[in-house]
């Protein structure tokens, strides 16, 4: 991973890490369907405007739209709804722990799909260290939540599996123009969830509004959905699916550090043990591979306005 790619990966992790707090704030005024559809509409509008300003038009072949539809549903609509639903019932620590399923599944399955992604002992050790670090970080308080309702926990696991599948799929069918694919996938997802939400609102009426929730919604749309989608599609074919999914280990660390820096929280001993464990895990998984993560699987479909993301 080059310095530029690492910097973009860190930025993406920041955008996604802050989204969990924004979701909590947004849910104070909006139900999950309204929150997800609104953030996706904002993200879609932003991305479509960017694509028309830079590329002149949004042009994909039928295969491109098929990829966009798959990613828009499995990488946006389904996990966004599942996480928003689950965060109404479980604590953030347990959510972080269960989302740690995604990098483990990706690590195990990636070598079966991509020849340049290997499953060596260091990667296995790294995955164990990363998940163990998250477990130490969230502590026994989060584990106590395992005795509660089963459905929210299954929702989080399913969301993690959606993310794992989407990353493997997006790597396998990478698109040469990240902006085009980001805009198309978010647009398809926005149209799908907005149609369901519109029907729901016609039956239950419009939700109330609160400024903090509206600001959180704006951040989710512009940052965690719009900008993050461009970074995601740019990075997946370049750094690989396994490296990409390590964000799920770093995000809890980010939340902890933000609490220390912004809220003045005083971390317990487990925090200082967990952070180096997680960073060690990410380092081991993200170390140099025997084969360079290639772009041979990036479709070489040409279009006058298509450029590499």
pLDDT digits (tens, 9 = 90+) for 136-170: 876 665 555 555 667 888 888 899 899 999 999 98
pLDDT tens by residue, the chain, 309 residues: 788 888 999 899 888 888 877 888 888 888 888 888 999 999 999 999 999 999 888 989 999 999 999 999 999 999 988 988 887 887 666 677 677 788 888 888 888 887 777 777 888 888 888 888 877 876 665 555 555 667 888 888 899 899 999 999 988 888 888 899 999 999 999 999 998 888 766 555 555 667 888 899 999 999 999 999 999 999 988 888 888 888 878 877 776 676 667 656 666 777 788 888 888 888 787 765 444 444 434 443 333 333 333
Tell the residue number behind the tokens 């109330």, with chain if given.
Answer: 208
Give the side-chain half-sphere CA count within 13 A for 20: 24
Cα distances (Å, whole numbers) of residue 215 to 12, 23, 85, 93, 218:
20, 11, 20, 24, 5
Q: Where are the alpha helices (DSSP H) in 114-208?
A: 121-144, 150-172, 178-204
| Alpha-carbon gap, residue 306 to 270, rounded angstroms | 48
| Alpha-carbon gap, residue 220 to 208, rounded angstroms | 18
Give every CB contact of residue 254 below 8 A, 6+ residues apart in sequence.
13, 14, 17, 18
CB 245 within 8 A of CB 107: yes
Angle at 212 between CA 209 and CA 213, to 5 degrees: 50
| Alpha-carbon gap, residue 254 to 251, rounded angstroms | 5
């Amino acid at each position: 991973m080059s310095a530029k790619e690492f910097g973009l990966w860190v930025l993406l992790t920041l955008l996604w890490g802050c989204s969990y707090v924004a979701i909590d704030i947004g849910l104070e005024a909006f139900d999950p369907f309204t929150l997800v559809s609104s953030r996706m509409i904002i993200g879609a509008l932003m991305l479509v405007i960017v694509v028309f300003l830079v590329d002149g038009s949004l042009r994909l072949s039928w295969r491109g739209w098929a990829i966009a539809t798959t990613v828009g549903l499995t990488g946006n609509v389904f996990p966004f709804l599942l996480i928003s639903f689950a965060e109404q019932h479980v604590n953030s620590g347990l959510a972080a722990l269960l989302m740690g399923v995604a990098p483990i599944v990706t690590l195990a399955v990636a070598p079966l799909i991509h020849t340049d992604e290997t499953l060596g002992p260091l990667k296995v050790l790294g995955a164990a260290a990363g998940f163990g670090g998250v477990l130490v970080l969230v502590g026994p308080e989060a584990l106590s939540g395992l005795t509660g309702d089963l459905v929210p926990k299954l929702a989080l696991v399913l969301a993690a599996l959606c993310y794992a599948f989407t990353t493997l799929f997006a790597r396998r069918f990478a698109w040469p123009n990240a902006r085009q694919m980001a805009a198309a996938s978010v647009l398809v997802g926005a149209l799908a969830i907005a149609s369901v939400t519109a029907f729901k609102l016609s039956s239950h009426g419009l939700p109330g509004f609160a400024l903090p929730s509206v600001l959180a919604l704006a951040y989710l749309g512009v940052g965690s959905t719009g900008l993050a989608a461009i970074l995601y599609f740019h990075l997946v074919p370049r750094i690989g699916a396994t490296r990409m999914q390590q964000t799920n280990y770093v995000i809890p660390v980010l939340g902890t550090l933000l609490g220390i820096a912004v809220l003045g929280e005083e971390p317990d001993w487990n925090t200082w043990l967990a952070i180096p464990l997680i960073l060690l895990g990410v380092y081991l998984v993200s170390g140099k591979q025997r084969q360079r993560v290639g772009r041979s699987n990036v479709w070489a479909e040409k279009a006058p306005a298509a450029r590499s993301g």
